Structure 1
């Protein structure tokens, strides 16, 4: 379900609580190499801290959504500048946001079966409870919110 509305070497800024909060991964400017691996590893570690009993499907969905957002930033901008994760244990919601320097918003596009690329936002649309984007300076932040069972 798509609900496009705004919500509010790499360095890491962890939250002050192991059970809830915010974590941020900053990426070096103009260096998209390795961002997807760093970002998905970072997402998996944060989820393990926040939800140590999360099932394999939940962990895979979080990693997949983070990977798709980061891949889009790597492929359509000069790479991501930040990956932000916000977790609310009371709501069970995980908000994943990737910021880059390219202003054009993501879009769901029609993809022919023989095309090897172009399905990332469809994957996010299927997995996430909501997703969208907001302008951020000269670029944008693309986000997705997942319900964690």
Structure 2
């Protein structure tokens, strides 16, 4: 399936818009409910980092099939994300840990003037 791409403004409402784009692409491709739900959750975390922490527009790209969902989120910050292990009760900082724990694969690549955080969720992932 062709990738669905969009650019989201650096505002909190863009997080919900990103979730809607991913859910629509997953459904159109026949992705499993589990892989779709995981992709939506992880997209929310990565787009939150882009619009709130990087204060950047988020460049969202989604490729979904019945076997897997691949999401990329680009932003204009050169600061690389870090996986934090926080104590129970800490209100922030869990997004990258969720990505590490739930994605089948993920990574970050540098681009001129920014970076892209990507992840893949496979339909054969066990709950």
TM-score, with length taken from structure 2: 0.88
For 1:40 and 1:105, the matched residues in 2 are separated by 22
Aligned to 1:94: 69
What's the offset of the Cα at 1:145? 0.9
> What SS is found at the alignment partner of 2:46?
helix
- In structure 2, the partner of 1:7 is none
Q: For each residue in 1:54-108, what CA deviation from the matched residue of structure 2 results, as whole angstroms up to 9, or x when unmatched?
A: 22x332211101101101112221133310012355xx22211100001011111
How big is the alpha-carbon RMSD for the aligned residues of Structure 1 and Structure 2? Answer: 1.6
In 1, Cα distance between the equivalents of 2:87 and 2:61?
32
The aligned residue for residue 37 of structure 1 is: 16
Q: Which runs of 4+ in 1 moved over 3 A?
A: none
Task: Name 1:112's counterpart in structure 2.
Answer: 87
Q: TM-score, normalised by structure 1?
A: 0.76
Greater fraction of residues in helix: 2
Where in structure 1 are there 5+ consecutive unaligned residues?
1-19
- Looking at structure 1, the residues matched to 44 and 8 of structure 2 have their Cα atoms a distance apart, in angstroms, of 14
- The structure with the largest alpha-carbon Rg is 1
Aligned residues: 124
